[in-house]
Amino acid sequence: MIKIENVSKNFLINGKEERVIIDFNININKKEIFGLVGETGSGKSTLLRMLNGFIEPDCGKIYLMDRELNKESKHELVRDTSMIFQDFNLLGNLNVLDNVLLATKFRKGNKEDLIKRAREILEFVGLSDFERSYTRTLSGGQKQRVAIARTLMTSPKIILCDEPTSALDDKMSYEILKLLKEINEKFETTIVIVSHDISVIKALCSRVAIIEGGKIVEVLSLNPKEIHPISYKEALISD
Amino acid sequence: MINNYIETFSKYQGQLLNAFIETIDMMFTAMVFTILFGMVFGFIMFITRADGIYRNKLMYFLVSGVLNVLRSIPYILFIIVIIPFNRLLIGTGFGVDASKIPLSLIGISTFARFVEQDFLDVNKNIYETSYALGANTLQYLTHFLLVEARSGLILSFTSTTISLLSYSTVMGIIGGGGLGYLAISEGYQNFNYSLMWIIIILMIVLVHFVQTTGNTISRKYDKR
């Protein structure tokens, strides 16, 4: 589904060329939930942005669905991917329904069918009663659900998640992780998730790449367990 | 004293109405050009600046430089030095129509700066979101930037309109007429201070009306 071949990326930081990503090679399978972990500045978010063509690699090649991602193909391929951001990136001047419908404005489709589909997706993410609400009235978890609903509107084959739970408390994080798992199972979507939170990676990912100093030091296979909600008491007294 | 003002108002109401219509005529044209070109130049500066999505030093320098020059010439001198340009454009350097040109230019240069600033206030990650959702640059402008910056843009346009109203008062020097010209020529220079004060009060009411309307619309469209 995703093939990363000898990808490197340098950035000019304070006038000095720094190697952020050094010779990455990863294969991510269809329907897989793949994790990227590493310290801040290790290049995980940069890699995620290279996977939808927002940032171009300096060298190496990226293939999505067996097609090479380059200047010519990226605007077409990006339509099969979607991204979930740490800060949700919703438009505050649009209500929930309009935020969810936003991506469909750049694609063909019958307006009434799209609204019907948006309502179905809002029901799936548990926000049916909030379609006319504005984002300022929503909690962090609800905002991320809107962002996920927006993501699902385009039926993406790949979802890229950049720290999707880092702005949320434990309970909200659990809700979002459960939702991502359901999406992966129901829609067979490939998910690439960047997180500094090990529990998030352990809960979701079948494989994880550990990034240190701009290099992949290891790719581990994990056995994700069923996700359970955890109370503050449980979290405090558990080892 | 009040009677004196009422008498002056009755005597000059025809001239006041004509001057008001001239002011509105000048303002309307200038506002249309201001909103169109100010938006375009503001967007160009926003995307070509050093941290913009299409960084282009030369383009930014040119647009920003021209707008700065327009804003830095004292307005009364600007009206005079632009007379040949008026002639070139509409065949005459004087009159209400000619007055619309410097008024539009100063409006565009003022509003474009506001637009650039309003766009800068929008969450920068919105561009990445628009890309990830499959939008092109024009769709980024129309469906993301304008949506998020709209309340700021309305307030900026309100401020620009009030500035234009103020600038319009000196258009008399090239025969532009309007309320300001009537206040100076018939009021101040003919020692008819009642007329001058009536026009000042009219201008205060007009500015208050524009500002209140702008604030109300901006509040209505700000859902953040």
DSSP string spanning A188-217? --EEEEE-S-HHHHHHH-SEEEEEETTEEE
Nearest-angstrom CA–CA distance, B167 and B106? 9
Give A233's pLDDT tier (boundaries 50, 70, 90).
low
Nearest-angstrom CA–CA distance, B25 and A55? 50
Contact B128 A78 (CB under 8 A): no
Per-residue burial over A80-100, b = 16 or more CB atoms within 10 Å of its CB, e = otherwise: bbbbbbbbbbbbbbbbbbbbb
CA distance, residue A237 to nearest chain B CA (Å): 38
Average pLDDT over residues A82-88: 90
Q: Report pLDDT for B21.
A: 93
pTM above 0.80, yes or no: yes
Alpha-helix residue ranges (DSSP H) falling in B49-140: 57-72, 75-81, 83-90, 96-120, 125-132, 137-139
DSSP H or E segment with residue A121: helix A111-124
Is residue B42 within 8 Å of B116, Cβ to Cβ? yes
Quick check: A230 contacting B, CB < 8 Å? no
Best mutation target among A91, A133, A150 (most B Cβ atoms within 10 Å) is A91
Q: Which residue of B has its CA nearest to A93?
A: B223
Give A28's pLDDT tier (boundaries 50, 70, 90).
very high
Q: Report pLDDT for A237.
A: 66
| Residue where the block lists tokens 């739970």 | A165
Q: Report pLDDT for B42.
A: 97
- Short-list B185, B171, B148, B210, CA closest to B12: B185
* Residue A226 pLDDT greater than 80, yes or no: no
Contact A103 B147 (CB under 8 A): no
The burial class, CB within 10 Å (0-12 / 13-18 / 19+), for B2 is exposed
In sequence order, the 6+-apart residues with CB closer than 8 A to the CB of B96 are: B22, B25, B26, B171, B175, B176, B177
CA distance, residue A91 to nearest chain B CA (Å): 7
Is residue B108 within 8 Å of B33, Cβ to Cβ? yes
In which residue ranges of chain B is pLDDT below 70?
Answer: none
Tell me chain B's radius of gyration from C-alpha atoms. 20
Q: Report pLDDT for A16.
A: 84
Q: Report pLDDT for A20.
A: 87
Q: Report pLDDT for A19.
A: 85
Q: Which residue of B has its CA nearest to A50?
A: B132
What percentage of chain A reaches a pLDDT higher than 90?
A: 44
Q: Report pLDDT for B111.
A: 97
Average pLDDT over residues A87-94: 93
Nearest-angstrom CA–CA distance, A75 and A96? 26
What percentage of chain A reaches a pLDDT higher than 70?
A: 94
Q: How many CB pairs under 8 A join A and B?
A: 68
* Residue A41 pLDDT greater than 90, yes or no: no
Q: Report pLDDT for A33.
A: 92
How far does Cα A214 stand from its chain's mean position? Answer: 20
DSSP H or E segment with residue A38: strand A33-38
- Short-list A109, A101, A96, A86, CA closest to A135: A96
Q: Report pLDDT for A227.
A: 65
**Per-residue pLDDT tens digits for A135-188:** 999 998 899 899 999 998 988 999 999 988 887 777 778 888 888 888 898 889
Q: What is the mean pLDDT of chain A?
A: 87
Quick check: A95 contacting B, CB < 8 Å? yes
Is residue A162 within 8 Å of A45, Cβ to Cβ? yes
Give A239's pLDDT tier (boundaries 50, 70, 90).
low
Is residue A83 within 8 Å of A151, Cβ to Cβ? yes
The burial class, CB within 10 Å (0-12 / 13-18 / 19+), for B145 is buried
What the block records as the tokens of A82 is 């979607």
Nearest-angstrom CA–CA distance, B189 and A206? 86
Q: Which B residues, 8 through 67, put their C-beta within 8 Å of a C-beta on chain A?
A: none
Is residue B125 within 8 Å of A89, Cβ to Cβ? yes
